[in-house]
Amino acid sequence: MIASVASATLHGVEGRPVQVEVHISTGLPALTVVGLPDTAVREARDRVRAAVLSAGLAWPQNRVTVNLAPSGVRKNGAGLDLPIAIGILVANNALSPRHVERFAFFGELGLDGSLRAVPGVIPMADAVAPGQVPVVPHASVNEARLAAPTVRGARTLGELCAALTGRGRWPDPPPPFQLPPVPPADLTDVRGQWVGRRALEVAAAGGHHLLFVGPPGSGKTMLASRLVGLLPPLGDEEIVQVLRVHSAAGAPVEAVLAGRPPLRAPHHGATDVALVGGGSSWMRPGEVSLAHGGVLFLDELGEFSTTVLDALRQPLEEGVVRVTRARAVAELPARFLLVAAMNPCPCGEGTVPGACRCTDSARARYERRLSGPLLDRFDLSVVLARPDAGDVLRGAPGETTAAVAERVAAARAVAAGRGVRCNAALEPEVLRTRAPLSPSGTALLEHHLATGALSARGVHRVWRVARTVADLSGHDGALCEEHVAEALHLRSARRGLTHSDGVL
């Protein structure tokens, strides 16, 4: 007997259709799975057999061969458990082929016959042929509905067989997603720290990557975690992209549905594959892709390994990650706002003149870990000091996130009028025509160029930030001295700071 059941497997953030073919022939009882299965798929044999028997259904006492077509594509994950089980039941005459021909199945099986959720339901449901209805574990129904108009769900294999044959009815779908409440982290909790707050506002408005330099306890993490609240909500197209990435990585999708930009904060022990994505078969999206449309926060930037940091440069430049392996290539979206925090030197006190007690070589080593090209991507780099005790205890609450977000939205609308997503994407030619400098602004930039404090590329970065500063204050004329001065200050952390102590 032979049977064929539709399913899909995950490749990066894309689903690839898979046809599960089952053949039962005479021979000693055995189950073979062919067609480039990975370990999880190969282990499906034992789960499927236990689940079928637990559901009270017959297991074929013959030789069973399962082929996963197309056989050139690597199959991964436990999501193929369910289609394999269904295929065996059809081949064993427990189900009729016409019961299953309109459906595509995804799901992991428990030994007791229960159906468990698997990652990547959205891209996999996207990949099924038109006219086919995805059948998923009950817990994944809401997620699958985001990709397909009609979705069927079941809790157990027995319940599913009953519904397919018409002996029982499909269970009611679960209640729709409850959108989680707005995150409590509000900018109003931050007392003092004007420079840090201002840097957050400018970063959100202009899409400028931001680096905080400061000793432990200066509020770097507190500030960075409040940046997502300032970003405008995701657009419809972005929501679809972000949903696919989150689903493919098995991350919760509820917050994305609310349009909230994601915040990812990987630990500094992260490997380069964890950060940019990859793996040998699955091509799981990495942290940069999970941060797509939102914020990637790298705390303790100096503790990340250099290979990990250098792997960030290409996605920062292009907004996508191209993961290339011997067997497969995947392109994952990765356009994010990078916020990083670091200590100025190993002892943490390095920026305050006269306070650092590190050895020369320790400081030099620490600075060498961060490659120039990566540090160059930060339009904003500000020094944070430990907050003033008076501010913390008695200071007035700061502006709320909502108030700042309003200014950010207005500034982004102005930037959109220049034909770019945000000011950080302004090309030098566009800067010249659409964001002109006043004579006093030009003079200030020229002074810094002449003294060697600013490189030619640095000038354009300051220029873009100055445009964002002006947009935030509702100034639409040529950029004045004060806008350029503020932009210069918002990148002052690296000014005059090298391990040579700035003496030469």
Partner 1 sequence: MLSDDERAAAALAALGVSPARLRRLLDGWEPVDAWAALQTGDHPEDGNGALRAAARPELLQTVARRCAARGLFVLLRNGPGYPAALAQDPEAPAVLFGSGRPAALAGGPAVAVVGTRSAGVAGRQVAGVIGEELAAHGVHVVSGLALGIDLAAHLGTLRATGASPVAVLGSPHDAFMTSAQRRVCDAVALRGLVLSEQAPGTMGARWRFASRNRIMAALANLVVVVEAHESGGAWYTVRAARRRGVPVAAVPGSLANPAAAGTNALLAAGASCVRDGADVLALLGLSRTVPPARRPRTAAVHTGADAQAVLGAFGGEPLTADDLARRTGLGFAQVALALEQLAAAGRVRVTGGWWERTPPRLRSAGSQPSATPFS
Q: Build a one-symbol-per-residue string for 168-207: x at contacts with partner 1 by CB under 8 A, - elsewhere.
A: ------------------------xxxxx-x---------
The CA distance from 106 to 104, in Å, is: 7
CA distances to 120, 300, 356, 362, 370 from 381, in Å: 37, 14, 20, 22, 14
* Residue 209 near residue 424, CB atoms below 8 Å: yes
| 64 versus 444: smaller Cβ distance to partner 1 | 444
Please report whether residue 383 would count as binding partner 1 according to CB under 8 A.
yes
Please report whether residue 267 would count as binding partner 1 according to CB under 8 A.
no
Please report whether residue 360 would count as binding partner 1 according to CB under 8 A.
yes
The CA distance from 182 to 326, in Å, is: 43
* Residue 222 near residue 341, CB atoms below 8 Å: no
Please report whether residue 491 would count as binding partner 1 according to CB under 8 A.
yes
| 252 versus 397: smaller Cβ distance to partner 1 | 397
Handedness of CA 302, 312, 275, 220 (dihedral sign): positive
Q: Please report where in the chains the tokens 């020229």 appear, as a residue.
A: 446
- Residue 152, classified by CB atoms within 10 Å of its CB into exposed (0-12), middle (13-18) or buried (19+), is buried
Q: Shortest approach of partner 1 to residue 227 CB, angstroms? A: 18
Handedness of CA 399, 400, 406, 411 (dihedral sign): positive
Backbone phi, psi, residue 103, to 5°: -115, 160
Pick from 101, 317, 427, 501 the residue near partner 1 by CB under 8 A: 501
Please report whether residue 69 would count as binding partner 1 according to CB under 8 A.
no
Amino acid at 336: F
Q: Shortest approach of partner 1 to residue 451 CB, angstroms? A: 5
The CA distance from 81 to 350, in Å, is: 56
DSSP class of residue 71 equals T
CA neighbor of 290 nearest in space, from 331, 335, 326 = 335
Q: Shortest approach of partner 1 to residue 77 CB, angstroms? A: 45
Please report whether residue 356 would count as binding partner 1 according to CB under 8 A.
yes
| 79 versus 387: smaller Cβ distance to partner 1 | 387
Pick from 344, 348, 398, 441 the residue near partner 1 by CB under 8 A: 344
| 96 versus 473: smaller Cβ distance to partner 1 | 473
Please report whether residue 359 would count as binding partner 1 according to CB under 8 A.
yes
The CA distance from 199 to 408, in Å, is: 12
Q: Shortest approach of partner 1 to residue 447 CB, angstroms? A: 6
Amino acid at 211: L
- Interior angle at CA 451, CA 448 and CA 452, nearest 5: 85
Pick from 137, 153, 350, 441 the residue near partner 1 by CB under 8 A: 350
Q: Shortest approach of partner 1 to residue 499 CB, angstroms? A: 6
List, in sequence order, every residue forming a beta bridge with 178; answer none if it has no partner: none
Please report whether residue 224 would count as binding partner 1 according to CB under 8 A.
no
* Residue 289 near residue 13, CB atoms below 8 Å: yes
Which stretch in 27-35, 65-73, 326-334, 356-364 sits in contact with partner 1 by CB under 8 A?
356-364
Size of residue set near partner 1 by CB under 8 A? 60
- First-to-final CA distance of the chain: 83
Q: Build a one-symbol-per-residue string for 423-452: x at contacts with partner 1 by CB under 8 A, - elsewhere.
A: ---------------------x--x---xx
| 141 versus 342: smaller Cβ distance to partner 1 | 342
Omega before residue 70 within 30° of 0, cis = yes
Please report whether residue 382 would count as binding partner 1 according to CB under 8 A.
yes
CA atoms within 13 A on the CB side of 16: 19
Pick from 254, 303, 310, 391 the residue near partner 1 by CB under 8 A: 391
DSSP class of residue 149 equals S
Please report whether residue 290 would count as binding partner 1 according to CB under 8 A.
no
User: What 3-state DSSP class applies to 481?
Assistant: helix
- Interior angle at CA 292, CA 286 and CA 296, nearest 5: 75
Please report whether residue 76 would count as binding partner 1 according to CB under 8 A.
no
Which stretch in 78-86, 100-108, 129-137, 380-388 sits in contact with partner 1 by CB under 8 A?
380-388
Q: Shortest approach of partner 1 to residue 279 CB, angstroms? A: 36
CA atoms within 13 A on the CB side of 38: 17
Which stretch in 124-132, 243-251, 331-339, 345-353 sits in contact with partner 1 by CB under 8 A?
345-353
Which stretch in 47-55, 114-122, 299-307, 376-384 sits in contact with partner 1 by CB under 8 A?
376-384
Please report whether residue 300 would count as binding partner 1 according to CB under 8 A.
no
Please report whether residue 477 would count as binding partner 1 according to CB under 8 A.
no
Q: Shortest approach of partner 1 to residue 418 CB, angstroms? A: 22
What is the binding site for partner 1 (CB under 8 A)? 192-196, 198, 213, 344, 350-361, 364, 372, 376, 382-385, 388, 391, 444, 447, 451-455, 457-458, 469, 473, 481-482, 485-486, 488-489, 491-504
